[in-house]
Amino acid sequence: MLIHDLTFDNERQAVQQAAEDDRYQSVRVSVLGRYMLADRREFPCQIIDMSPGGARVIAPVSGDPGEKIIIYLDHLGRVEGTITGLIDGGFEMTLVSSPRRRDKLAAQLTWLANKDLLNLPEDRRHERVVPDIRHSSILLEDGRRYNCKITDISLSGAAVELDVRPALGTPVTLGRMRARVVRHFQDGIAVEFASVQEMLTVVQQNLSMN
């Protein structure tokens, strides 16, 4: 009888949460982060569509339907839930959160969805790390190649020690990742990657070669 009651309570809570989630509209966003699968492996990811009740995630490793997952997202913080299905290049998931947390997520997603329309600042907060292998190369469009040293790197770009200073906006290739020059500093340049999707493709290729 107790098991039946618990099952009924769980079903009732799921129905209540689904009804509450219907109040929110899914919005197209581009939010970067890192996710952890049930076996504790971590990978970078990009949220492309999200509501307080669920999300579509571009990811190099998809996991399995029914698998629990935790994601740490720029601007949004920690979210957790369950993988519900696989999509091309990633997966869909439901989110588990309190009503108060869902209301906060709704407000944050509204801001993210409208910041481009309102010309709001980007406010980049992607975690930067120093890579284990810092030596790389910069390739310009005219074929010139220069050795460089990566000072730090994140999901969105990198700071690079370089002897030359290509003009701001110049397309370059850092290693195998397309980018553009966005800043000069005393010892080199900062570049912004062309897209997180391309960066994730490179990560996936590297994983498949290991």
At 108-147, the pLDDT tens digits run: 777 776 665 544 444 444 556 666 678 899 999 999 999 9
Same domain, 29 and 95: yes
pLDDT score, position 104: 82
Report the CATH number at residue 99. Answer: 2.40.10.220
Q: Could you write out the DSSP letters of every residue in 26-53? A: -EEEEEEEEEE-TT--EEEEEEEEEETT
Q: Could you list the residue range(s) of the whole structural domain that residue 172 is in? A: 135-209
pLDDT score, position 68: 95
What global pTM score does this model have? 0.48
Same domain, 154 and 197: yes
Q: What is the mean pLDDT of residues 141-163?
A: 87
Phi and psi at residue 10, in whole multiples of 5°? -65, -45
Mean pLDDT of the chain: 77
How many whole angstroms separate alpha carbon 25 and alpha carbon 90? 21
Same domain, 109 and 184: no
Q: 139 versus 185: which is more confidently predicted?
A: 139
Q: What is the pLDDT of residues 61-70, one digit of tens each?
A: 988 999 999 9
Same domain, 141 and 98: no
